[in-house]
A and B are shown apart, each in its own frame.
Chain A
Amino acid sequence: MRPLPDIAGADAPFWQALRRRELRVQRCGSCGTHRFPATRYCPRCRSDRSDWQAVAPTGIVETWCVFHRAYFDDLPVPYTVIQVRLDCGVRLFSNPVAVETDALRIGLAVEAAFEDITPDVTLLKFKPRKDVA
């Protein structure tokens, strides 16, 4: 079975937003810093006030790697993992779509690609932006 996220846990608003083709991350109610995954306290100012804010579904590739050894059933190798920094500052691990691994570069501008993998679960993947050189 492929690994599935805990969509009912503290990150539920993130997963629910992905179903709607929207990207939401936690935002500190005091200093405004975005963060993900969810934490009770803001790591920057330690406030416990927060909400889930829609953010631009865009960012850049920071680095990548290609798995040749399989660690999970039903995730056939090889597959590529990218590290993305969203424009709001949040970092994510994800997979690239619609781009060859050889074409990945540090700083490549990417945007969200929503991938439904079960009736309840949508994963956040990334594809190159067409509107940015």
Chain B
Amino acid sequence: MPAFPQSTPVAVVGVGHTRYGKLPQHDPYELGLWALKEALADAGLAFDAVDGLIVNRIPDYQRFCEIAGLDPSYVSITPGQGRFSGICIETAAALIRDGLAHTVALVYGNNGRSGGDRYGGAGDTYGSGGGGQWFPYGMTSPGAFHALMARRHMELYGTTADQLGTVARTIRAHAALNPAAVMREPFTLADYHASRFICEPLHLLDYCLINDGGVALILTSGERARDLAQKPVYLRGYGMATALAASSFPPDDFWRAPMGKAAATSFRQAGIAHADVSALMIYDNFTPTVLFSLEGYGYCAPGESGPFAAAGHLALGGRCPTNTSGGHLSESYMQGWALNVEAVRQVRGACGARQVAGCAFAHYMAAAPVVTSIIYGRDPS
């Protein structure tokens, strides 16, 4: 991958989101538009400034543009899988750098809770091909896929339930400081162990929260960004890699190889080291994914993420404050989008009680068959 052209920095200039929770009066289009209005207001931009649009999880781009009154020069639509938040952000940056659009809106709308989304069972489509051929054995659901990976990690490295529980507890403690989070009540390790198993070794508290909500981000060139309402937050580095071949089954390496590639690319572009990163936003669909990401993106050696989490390093005040918003586990499952909003807000210094002091760099990362690594920075270079 070529070096990030520093002459044309790209910045996030607006972030916005709906309330999270149960919003049965809104369909995904309306949730997306609600979030877009917030994001444009945040940026101090009008709707007619948007000349690039990528919608995610919203079922139809034409309908969205119709209800939003938009005629962007560039438009695209992406499937409702969380890995696409990072992909969309990286695509938006490329569009801006290449001049296909000046100001790109990324709009996500998810009515999974009111819409009655179910993960697992006859309608389950997680993994390639939908996995129907394994239903006779009872194999289904993203949760089970991650339970299989968690068990393997436990067997290989001695990772414990207490360590997974600490990940969940730490992120919940952060949510307690975020008024927008859906689940804000702290819990103990005993509470964690008492919560029911969904797919052992994973308990209910290892799973993210299906909710309704919308999120939007506005990106533009660093040059334009300087004149807008917010202090720009720059995309200093990004990397992407995939492990899609044979992806019906969990990868032997917990996606370490693609994460390593994406991390190397993004850190090289940003010109920084891990120690320069103040806040981590890790795609926490399930607690074990946080551990896999810490190892894959280079914050821990392979096998050491469990003890690392148990030592308190993921907490505010620790070495690697992680998911300061409460993440998918406790704020709301907004499929990476809200974590990117939190990364931007940390770099802006706008996180209030949960602000990491002197946050010059925040790192968003996801572990999945498509991995994305995005480093946000306060300065353009």
Contacts and interface: CB of A to CB of B under 8 A. Distances in A.
Interface of A: 2-6, 11, 37, 43, 62-69, 71-72, 75, 78-79, 81, 83, 91, 93-95, 105-106, 117, 121, 123, 125
Interface in B332-354: none
Residue among B124, B138, B156 facing the most chain A CB atoms (10 A cut-off): B138
Contacts of B149: 63
A53 B140 CA distance: 28
B20 to A, nearest CB: 24
A47 to B, nearest CB: 16
Interface of B: 120-122, 124, 129, 132-141, 144, 147-149, 151-152, 155-156, 196-202, 245-246, 248-250, 252
B199 A64 contact: no
22 contacts: A3-B122, A6-B133, A11-B133, A37-B129, A65-B200, A65-B202, A66-B199, A67-B144, A67-B200, A68-B199, A69-B120, A69-B198, A71-B121, A72-B121, A72-B135, A72-B138, A79-B138, A83-B250, A91-B248, A106-B152, A106-B156, A117-B136
B152 A68 contact: no
B199 A37 contact: no
Contacts of A123: 136-137
A51 B136 CA distance: 25
Contacts of B249: 83, 91, 93
Q: Is the interface of B mostly helix, strand, loop or mixed?
A: mixed
A19 to B, nearest CB: 15
B2 to A, nearest CB: 29
A62 B136 contact: no
Given A67-B144, A68-B200, A93 B137 contact: yes
A67 B246 contact: no
B148 A43 contact: no
Contacts of A63: 148-149, 151-152, 155, 250
Contacts of A105: 155
Given A63-B148, A79-B138, A81-B138, 6 more contacts: A3-B135, A63-B149, A64-B151, A65-B144, A91-B248, A106-B155
Contacts of A66: 197, 199-200
A127 B246 CA distance: 25
